[in-house]
Chain A
Amino acid sequence: MSAHDFDTVQLDDVSRHFGRRRALSRVTLAIKSGEIVGLLGPNGAGKSTLLGVLATIVAPTSGTIRYGTATAGESGPALRRRIGVLAHELYLYPELSAQQNLTFFANLYGLDAAQAVPAALDRAGLSDRAADEVGSFSRGMRQRLALERALLHQPRLVLLDEPFTGLDDRSVGAVSDRLRRLSAGGAIVIVATHDLDVADGLVTRVALVRDGRLIADEAAAPGLRARYRSAIGTA
């Protein structure tokens, strides 16, 4: 385990306000290594803000987040080497090829691009399109490439915002398997999604968010849609 590896992420009373709007309100949550947490809630519930706060790009208005025993401020930039983010926007340069995109990010994370990039392209099923501009890819292909970009540096904390958008059934299955393997390898995986059917068989724990508040935090069990409907409303 490296100096910045951690087995838990602990949020204590975390709030984030944008002006008068409370995007997050007093969220307390502890997540352990090996868990796949489904972050569920309606649009505007605060899921993306929570992921942004965990990713260290949104500063909490109050409260603390500990990655293991240290906060982001105490860990410095090296903490970000252990965090992987797949956001709704894909963080890819459409003018560059798939290979150029992955090579740039591999270098930015201090990885051996010659080793990491071909393997990532292979996992994304894009080895034969490596030299093509990402702008020419379908949404599903870009989504697969973006996932590999997010996981290129083998992060300890994996934050995924709607990772199944644009994927066909086979790709959804492949991504789900990938996340299970990451979790089995000790990663902390947090998935924000509206796709309750996929989440039902994937997540080990469910965190329900509404109006910036964590309204439920429980172990995953069959019948997720029904429980979501009773907690949040229609689904």
Chain B
Amino acid sequence: MFLRTALLVLRKDIAVEVRTFEILLTTLFFAVAVVLVFAFAFVREGQAPPYAAPGILWIAIAFAGTLALGRTFERERYGETLRALLLAPAPRPALYIGKLLGMVALLAIAEVILVPLIAFLFASPMFERPVLLVALLAAGTVGFASVGTLFGAMLIRTRTRDVLLPILLYPITVPVIICGVRGTAALVAGPGEPPDEALATMWLSILLAMDVVFLVLALWTFEPLMTE
């Protein structure tokens, strides 16, 4: 029942998105625009600063993720459909997991475009340890989206939600972003340096630990937070 409900919510979110592509396109456009602005600012005569790429990647993910979170829950606010979900005879944390899966899928699509784009624009050897890079991105995305989904749902009836979401979200997810940046930087070493797998694995372990903490807390608090 739990997994079935989560997948139903995910499928519904995909069906809504496929009708308009509104959130996917705006998120991608914004993420690519952020990367291009950084590229114009930092790349001089074809030379990029050696350690800029990881930071730019995670800034683009965080900013685009915030935009996507806002739009996703704006959709549930229109017609108060989140209330309809809460009225269903399903475990309410399953609704949270369904929304979280949708957000992770959306950010994963953005990352599929962002990583090669950044690797190209900043001449960054991003693909030397692809498995570790994917693991870092997945763990960081889950950590960011788990907090963001909870806050997005919580703020849905708040008039100042667009302002409050980043104010609440960034202080809590900054450790996730820092771990993501440091882990990715360990993989994207400077010229002539080999990737530091041990260091990247350490940052990945911290990210995974944060994911567990954030997910447990979110699942535990979702129902009481959503009951008015």
Contact = CB atoms under 8 A, between A and B. Distances in A.
- Does B associate with A? yes
A83 B87 contact: yes
Q: From DSSP, what is the main secondary structure of chain B's interface residues?
A: helix
Contacts of B78: 94
A95 B19 contact: yes
A79 B85 CA distance: 14
A95 B227 contact: no
Interface string B1-23: 00001001000100110011000
Given A59-B227, A59-B228, A93 B88 contact: no
Contacts of A107: 8
Contacts of A104: 8, 12, 15
Measured as residues with beta carbon below 8 angstroms from the partner, the interface class of chain B is 20 to 34
B131 interface: no
Contacts of B88: 80, 105, 108-109
Interface in A193-228: none
Contact of B89 (A55, A58, A95, A110): A110
Given A52-B228, A56-B227, A77-B91, 16 more contacts: A57-B83, A57-B228, A80-B89, A90-B79, A91-B80, A91-B83, A93-B75, A93-B79, A94-B78, A95-B20, A96-B12, A96-B15, A104-B8, A104-B15, A108-B90, A109-B88
7 contacts: A56-B87, A58-B228, A89-B79, A96-B12, A96-B16, A107-B8, A108-B8
Interface of B: 5, 8, 12, 15-16, 19-20, 75, 78-81, 83-92, 227-228
Contacts, number: 73
Nearest to A110: B89
Nearest to B17: A95
Most chain A CB inside 10 Å of its own CB: which residue of B15, B16, B79, B85: B79
